[in-house]
Amino acid sequence: MSQSQSLSLTQTRYTISEVEARTGLSQHTLRWYERIGLMPHVDRSHSGQRRFTDKDLDWLRFVGKLRATGMSVADMVRYAELVREGEHTVEERRDLLERTRNEVRARMAELTDALAVLDYKIDMYAMKTVSGKERR
Amino acid sequence: MSQSQSLSLTQTRYTISEVEARTGLSQHTLRWYERIGLMPHVDRSHSGQRRFTDKDLDWLRFVGKLRATGMSVADMVRYAELVREGEHTVEERRDLLERTRNEVRARMAELTDALAVLDYKIDMYAMKTVSGKERR
DNA sequence: TACTTGCTTGGAGTGCACTCAAGGGTTTTA
DNA sequence: TAAAACCCTTGAGTGCACTCCAAGCAAGTA
């Protein structure tokens, strides 16, 4: 049930190219994420090569969601720091996520509005195209 | 009714700083938009200063909507070119707008998905915060 | 053993969308 | 009329999020 127990002998460890295939993130980006502090510490093989765990993959999936929200990398790094610092940062993490959520909602409202304009224009062009065809 | 008739003596002409105030776009950006071909030809005063018309403001508002969709500047320039080329480009314009619309819809689906994750996480944190307060 | 493939690092390069600087002319206000 | 505010151009600089490069070590295969 505890974390150390779940780290059994059979735990799968992925090379960087396996993680690239699984996440769609390039090896460059994965190394860069680690460099800038966007990853919890990544395990290494005896020869120093990265060995990612399923937990790392989960984290990368979550980071992908944050990216999809449009959150900046700087904010994602801040969030990762807070996670590393432990439970007493929960409130700040929630704040950060709530701010992000508000931005997403604003973004979606903007998109909805722009979409309406697009729909209108496309309808106009569709009408022109039809009347052009009729004229022939 | 025709455009030349509407170009009456009383037509308002805006300086670049008026347009900046009205659109929120910086003077730098306005000049840059013109430079890269994102504006129809902008009128000049006898001394060479820009004088924007209401038509220009309308165009800038539309461009703002396109920006809001996430369309690249390169694509917006392409669209502006097509408009300048005349009625025979209507079909290509509609294609461009339809592609953009599809991207917007995809983007919105992504945002909806990410928003759900955010909601879930925030709820988790809210629960932790409450139980933390109870503990005191 | 030789070769291929994969991984390492630090630092440089890229593409996008602006954003600013320098040096100079123009218009408005006191 | 003089100062202050505004506008012009060309070209360089910025911030972000990657993306690539060089040089070298390591592991697996013919």
- The pLDDT value recorded for residue B132 is 52
Would the CB atoms of A114 and B69 count as touching at under 8 Å?
Answer: yes
Q: Pairing mode, if any, of strands A50-51 and A43-44? A: antiparallel
Work out the minimum CA distance from B86 to partner chain A, whole angstroms: 13
State the pTM of this model: 0.86
CA atoms within 13 A on the CB side of A61: 9
B131 shares contact with chain A (CB less than 8 Å): no
Would the CB atoms of A66 and B114 count as touching at under 8 Å?
Answer: yes
pLDDT band at residue B5, thresholds of 50, 70 and 90?
very low
Mutation choice for B interface testing from A98, A101, A115 by most B CBs within 10 A: A115
User: At residue B50, what are phi and psi to the nearest 5 degrees?
Assistant: -65, 140
Mean pLDDT, residues A42-51: 89
Question: Within 7 Å: CB of B28 and strand C?
Answer: yes
Q: Where are the domains of chain B?
A: 1-72, 86-136
Q: Which tokens go with A28? A: 């460059």
Query: Which of A7-16, A50-59, B94-103, B116-125 shows the lowest per-residue confidence on average (mean pLDDT)?
Result: A7-16
Number of H helices, E strands in chain A: 6, 2
Q: Are B33 and B50 a contacting pair, CB within 8 Å?
A: no
- The pLDDT value recorded for residue B90 is 95
Give A51's DSSP letter: E
What's the distance, CA B59 to chain centroid? Answer: 9
pLDDT band at residue B27, thresholds of 50, 70 and 90?
very high
Distance CA A31, CA A60 (A): 12
Distance CA B128, CA B122 (A): 10
Helix (H) / strand (E) element for B34: namely helix B27-35
CATH number of B1-72: 1.10.1660.10
Rounded to whole angstroms, the distance from the CA of residue B59 to the C1' of nucleotide D8 is 23
Q: Give the model confidence (pLDDT) of B45-96 as tens digits.
A: 999 999 999 999 999 999 999 999 999 999 999 999 999 999 999 999 999 9
Rounded to whole angstroms, the distance from the CA of residue B6 to the C1' of nucleotide C24 is 36
